[in-house]
Chain A
Amino acid sequence: MDEQSKMTANAQETPVMEPGYTFGTVTEKISAIVLTRPASNGWFVGFGIAFLMTMMMLYAIGYLFLKGVGIWGVTIPIGWGFAIINFVWWIGIGHAGTLISAILLLLRQSWRNSINRFAEAMTLFAVACAGIFPGIHVGRPWLAYWLFPYPSTMGVWPQFRSPLMWDVFAVSTYATISALFWFIGLVPDMATLRDRATHPAARIIYGMLSLGWRGSARHWHRYETAYLLLAGLATPLVLSVHTVVSFDFAVGIVPGWHTTIFPPYFVAGAIYSGFAMVLMLAIPIRKIYNLEDFITELHLQNAAKVMLATGLIVAYGYGIEAFMGWYSGDRYDAFTLWNRLHGPYAIPYWSLLVCNIFIPQVLWIRKLRSNPVALFFVSLVILVGMWLERFIIVVVSLSRDFLTSSWGMYYPTRWDWMTYVGTIGMFLAAIFLFVRLLPMISIFEMRTLLPEAEVKE
């Protein structure tokens, strides 16, 4: 068998969608999850736990507002701590959604059609979690709106030469465009739910969300143009967001931050962790809701390959950091490397290398890439690893800068942990609600994958 026919044979083994579906059955299968399937006990337990975690987060934030950031482990010299670590971690996770919905659309990867909807939802919820942290980290959170340029009686304006200001614009643009992209993708499916729903309240709510969509050919034409253009706009946007986040560090002069490798390596790391989160959500969801026909082994394989590739870029980034520590001849950079390997935070650094570089290499094995359980745990390891990476970047560099007199240590408090774990709860609670209230797979895009959707003029 030559290479080409081998690839075709593989493609036939793992289709984008299992055969045998029609427009009607695809529609019924996806919309039934929202419209007719009763919520299981498992759903209530899961949502209940996530809800309690969200309440814990609100309690921790309420106490923070009462007492101030002194309840956290942040001190001078480590003034950023968990707030910035978690901000970068969540924003990074969000990147996979836009990558799947926009970049893979431009690359005509039709397998994206069954995972783009919930990946975009994941992006939105992750960005919402990320947005909390800078807001509550500013010390006087009720003045967080000072970040935006608005005409004030003080007669002052933000300082646009600072990467932190760039970040405000990048992240708020990203949140807005992601929300619009997600909503506009939902409109035709809202019309489907409007026409299928039997409960009057559901008909009215889905009807309003559908904006009166009726599937006119003229509407579809403009819709597809707008969707394609949005994808074209979201592609450079998503690359810019983590680039700008990395500028927050790279523009500073602290050893370990001041490097030009940061933008590409941050973007790759973001996609790495984002795909890990996509898999951690997709694997249980496809099992629980019997969606293996739509989210097939092909999707798991492809996501695993993206993780493998981006993971290697991240590994290259670590390698270049280490190389430049030696090659630059700068004693502070060299010390940063030594300090990571042998200093007080050596355990997190070695764990990071194990989680992000060594363990994910098992993804080279085809059998493991198609084993959902194994993929789930590799993804979990990657998410932990990427969190540790941000911990190392933020904490280790700040704890050991140029003068020994300004060295210090960072110990997160229980309030740090409660806030962090609480945002995971908020994220999961939003996902739980999403799978019950909205079609988690784009119905109309799945219809276009069916053979009967093909026309010749």
Chain B
Amino acid sequence: MKRERMYGIMAEFDSAQALIDAAKRTHEAGYNKIDAYSPFPIEGLAEEIGFHRDEVPLVVLIGGIVGGLTGYLMQYWMSAVDYPLNIGGKPYHSWPAFIVITFEMTILFAGISAVFGMLALNGLPMPYHPVFNVPRFSSASKDRFFLIVFSSDPKYDAAGTRSFLQGLQPRSISEVPS
């Protein structure tokens, strides 16, 4: 009676080392649409599942440049163009005095870009996700490590993928309903 399409098949592991080894073997076996879940960041794990392009630095760079320009041009326009005011005989465009706020605006925009850019690229906030349907997945935020092969993977086939994952000696295997 399993007519509805599965979201994927998930294998559970006991240790970070087991997960990283399993991820490597799964990726080498030709699976590309896979993901790994861990309770803390594991160095090198993202590369093992085929993730190589992290756009966060670019987003932060753009945010910083926009922030710096906004800060400087805002002060220039307000102090020298829209409302020129003689303060102690200083020039209207007194650039050294504008550096501090330019710097702060650079940091502000870059920092906001880092946080919201990271969340947007990760597709968060996302309160519902199919993996949460697996009861054992609640340990992914504690002490268990999970590997999933999505059903959208061209190489995916319910029985074959399952037996492949079985070969990685996981602690358990669950089907993730979509």
Contacts and interface: CB of A to CB of B under 8 A. Distances in A.
Interface of A: 22-24, 27, 149, 155-163, 165-166, 169-170, 173, 176-177, 180-181, 183-184, 188, 191-192, 194-196, 207-208, 211-226, 229-230, 233-234, 236-237, 240, 244, 247, 444-445, 447-448, 452-457
B125 A211 contact: yes
Nearest to B97: A161
Contacts of A163: 100
Contact of A184 (B104, B105, B115): B115
B98 interface: yes
B6 interface: no
26 contacts: A24-B142, A149-B74, A161-B87, A161-B90, A184-B115, A184-B118, A192-B141, A195-B138, A211-B124, A212-B126, A214-B37, A214-B129, A215-B37, A216-B36, A216-B37, A217-B48, A221-B46, A222-B56, A224-B41, A226-B60, A234-B111, A444-B40, A444-B41, A447-B40, A454-B16, A455-B16
Given A161-B94, A219-B122, A226-B114, 6 more contacts: A169-B100, A176-B112, A195-B139, A207-B127, A244-B100, A456-B17
B164 interface: no
Given A27-B142, A160-B75, A169-B100, A455 B42 contact: yes
A219 B115 CA distance: 12
Given A180-B115, A222-B121, A444 B39 contact: yes
Main secondary structure of the interface of A (DSSP, over half): helix
Contact of B141 (A155, A181, A195, A219): A195
Given A215-B140, A222-B118, A452 B39 contact: no
Nearest to B127: A212
B78 A221 contact: no
A173 B108 contact: yes
A157 B41 contact: no
Main secondary structure on chain B at its contact with chain A?
A: helix
Interface size class of B (residues with CB under 8 A): 35 or more
Given A161-B79, A166-B100, A447-B40, A221 B142 contact: no
B110 interface: yes
Contacts of A224: 41
A157 B37 CA distance: 51
A218 B100 contact: no
Contact of B122 (A23, A208, A218, A244): A218
Nearest to B67: A173
B40 A445 contact: yes
B115 A226 contact: yes
A207 to B, nearest CB: 7
A165 to B, nearest CB: 7
Given A176-B111, A177-B111, A24 B143 contact: yes
Contacts of B165: none
A180 B111 contact: yes
B35 interface: yes
Contacts of B107: 173, 177, 233-234, 236-237, 240
Contact of A196 (B42, B49, B88, B142): B142
Nearest to A190: B141
B159 to A, nearest CB: 26
A282 to B, nearest CB: 23
A28 to B, nearest CB: 8
Contacts of A445: 40
B110 A233 contact: yes
B168 interface: no
Contact of B45 (A173, A220, A222): A220
Contact of A212 (B42, B88, B129): B129
Interchain residue pairs A-B with the least CB separation, the first 4: A23-B143, A226-B118, A211-B125, A221-B46
Contacts of A183: 115
B44 A169 contact: no
B38 interface: yes
B16 A453 contact: yes
Contact of B46 (A173, A220, A452): A220
A27 B143 CA distance: 8
> Which of A159, A183, A217, A230 has the most chain B CB within a 10 Å cutoff?
A217
B142 A160 contact: no
A208 B114 contact: no
Nearest to B15: A452
A218 B35 contact: yes
A170 B100 CA distance: 8
A444 B74 CA distance: 41
B158 interface: no
Interface string B1-34: 0000000000000011100100110000000000
Nearest to A28: B142
A158 B78 contact: yes
Contacts of B23: 217
Interface in B73-97: 74-75, 78-79, 82-83, 85, 87-88, 90, 94, 97
